């Protein structure tokens, strides 16, 4: 009985959040600056949630999100510019190209059980390598931006006059990614990944193929990043090797960690809080001193690591619990009062 009301309460909360997110653009549509910010927040929420599969569950400190994202962006953009293929198809092709790269890098890394710092460095290096490759690869990239066909506002080329459609596209992707997270978490793969994050040898003798499990996680993560890359390039209207951005990869990993490892909604929550906060700081402090907003942002992250190392999600869980006991007490009186009667 009690458990049922708790679950019901959680569904109501999720439902409210979804409704608010869907209605927000209607209120804020007049301010396109806010719309692009909210779309960016959702973009980071998607990427951090995807990272949760390889980083939060499998415990691999992956810093290559921008590699997969950039590859998806360049694939989608090139398909549109060269062969006039719609980004709606291009983004999935981009996802598949990212998957190929993920397999190439993941197979040897997981075969040799590369972990922690060494995995982080290897994956991070990939971003840098790809950036150089696309800088020199004249027929696709090059040092100047390549613009997508401009001036058109069409569904075919995923180009719109306002940011509102991008907001909804990102929102739908976020919902799908959260659903995928949830399905994986409570499946054989999810339990195996969680255990692999703790002790690899001990999991292998229980019949889990560590290489295959991690490769699956990496492939799903890379596919999501690649698809999002397709939307990313249409959102900004151009593509450039600077899309292969190490600091962005780092930030996605940070959001995944700060959100609360092992909580499905944690990384998305962290993205919503931290990215909004960062943009707020940028808008208000950016004019005063260059880079000041990043310094403040860093201080907040350090404080977070010191006082709430398990992340935002446990903090929220505690808050919900406290609110629940408060309301039940309000309705039924304190447990002590009940006893005295």
Give the footprint of another protein on this chain (CB under 8 A).
187-188, 191-192, 194-195, 198-199, 201-210, 262
CB of 5 to another protein, least distance (A): 19
Cα–Cα distance between 339 and 142 in angstroms, integer? 76
- Quote the tokens at residue 105: 């890098």
CB of 59 to another protein, least distance (A): 10
CB of 262 to another protein, least distance (A): 7
Nearest by Cα to 316 from 42, 17, 57, 25: 17
- Quote the tokens at residue 163: 């940011």
Cα–Cα distance between 123 and 102 in angstroms, integer? 10
Task: Cite the DSSP H helix spans in 186-334.
Answer: 188-196, 200-204, 210-236, 246-259, 266-285, 292-307, 312-332
CB of 188 to another protein, least distance (A): 4
Q: Which helix (H) or strand (E) holds 42?
A: helix 32-51
Please, which residue, 95 or 190, has the CB nearer to another protein? 190
Q: Which helix (H) or strand (E) holds 147?
A: strand 146-147
Please, which residue, 192 or 249, has the CB nearer to another protein? 192
Please, which residue, 154 or 187, has the CB nearer to another protein? 187
User: 216-219: which pairs have CB atoms within 8 A and are 24 or more residues apart?
Assistant: 216/189, 217/53, 217/54, 217/57, 217/58, 217/60, 217/184, 217/189, 217/193, 218/54, 218/58, 218/60, 218/62, 218/102, 218/106, 218/110, 219/99, 219/102, 219/103, 219/106
Please, which residue, 161 or 198, has the CB nearer to another protein? 198
CB of 204 to another protein, least distance (A): 4
Beta bridge partners of 146: 239
Please, which residue, 96 or 315, has the CB nearer to another protein? 315
CB of 210 to another protein, least distance (A): 7
CB of 244 to another protein, least distance (A): 33
């Amino acid at each position: 009985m009690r458990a049922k009301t708790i679950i019901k309460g959680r569904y109501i909360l999720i439902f409210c959040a979804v409704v608010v997110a869907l209605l927000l653009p209607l209120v804020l549509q007049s301010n396109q600056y806010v719309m692009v910010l909210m779309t960016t927040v959702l973009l980071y929420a998607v990427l951090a949630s995807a990272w949760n599969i390889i980083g939060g569950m499998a415990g691999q400190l992956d810093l290559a999100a921008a590699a997969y994202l950039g590859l998806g962006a360049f694939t989608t953009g090139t398909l549109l510019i060269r062969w006039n293929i719609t980004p709606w198809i291009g983004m999935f092709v981009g996802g598949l190209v990212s998957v190929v790269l993920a397999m190439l890098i993941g197979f040897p890394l997981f075969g040799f059980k590369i972990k922690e710092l060494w995995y982080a460095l290897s994956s991070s290096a990939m971003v840098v390598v790809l950036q150089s490759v696309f800088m020199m690869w004249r027929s696709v990239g090059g040092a100047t931006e390549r613009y997508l066909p401009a001036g058109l506002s069409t569904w075919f080329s995923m180009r719109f006059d306002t940011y509102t459609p991008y907001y909804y596209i990102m929102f739908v992707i976020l919902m799908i990614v959260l659903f995928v997270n949830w399905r994986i978490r409570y499946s054989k793969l999810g339990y195996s990944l969680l255990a692999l994050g703790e002790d690899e040898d001990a999991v292998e003798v229980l019949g889990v193929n560590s290489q295959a499990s991690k490769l699956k996680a990496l492939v799903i993560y890379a596919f999501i990043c690649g698809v999002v890359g397709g939307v990313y390039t249409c959102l900004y209207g151009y593509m450039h090797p600077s899309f292969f951005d190490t600091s962005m990869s780092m930030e996605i990993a940070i959001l995944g960690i700060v959100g609360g490892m092992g909580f499905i909604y944690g990384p998305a929550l962290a993205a919503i809080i931290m990215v909004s906060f960062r943009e707020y700081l940028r808008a208000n402090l950016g004019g005063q001193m260059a880079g000041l907003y990043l310094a403040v942002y860093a201080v907040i992250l350090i404080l977070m690591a010191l006082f709430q190392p398990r992340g935002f999600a446990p903090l929220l869980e505690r808050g919900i619990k406290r609110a629940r006991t408060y309301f039940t007490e309000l309705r039924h009186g304190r447990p002590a009062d009940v006893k005295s009667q």
